[in-house]
Amino acid sequence: EEFEEQFVQQGYDTSRDIDETLDIGWDLLSMLPKPELNRIDEENIEEHYREDVEAEVAVG
C-alpha cells in the first residue's frame, strides 16, 4: 500500500528528481528487515538503508 501511494502514483503534475525518487524507494525498502533484502548488494544496503524507518514500522 505504501509503495502504491508514495512511489507508483506520482501524478503528472508532480515534479521530483531522480534523487528524491531514490530516497522514497529506500524509505520503502527500509520498512523491510535487512535479511529480506537479499537481492540488493550489501554495500548499497549499508549506504542507504534507514534503520529509523524499520524501527518506526516495528513500533507501529
pLDDT in tens, 10-58: 767 778 888 988 998 999 999 999 999 999 999 999 999 999 876 666 6
Host domain of residue 42: 2-59
Structural domain tally of the chain?
Answer: 1
Please indicate, yes or no, whether the overall pTM of this predicted structure exceeds 0.85.
no
Cβ 3 vs Cβ 28: under 8 Å? yes
What is d(CA 3, CA 29) in angstroms, rounded to the nearest whole number?
9
What is d(CA 7, CA 28) in angstroms, rounded to the nearest whole number?
9
Sign of the CA dihedral running 40, 46, 50, 7:
negative
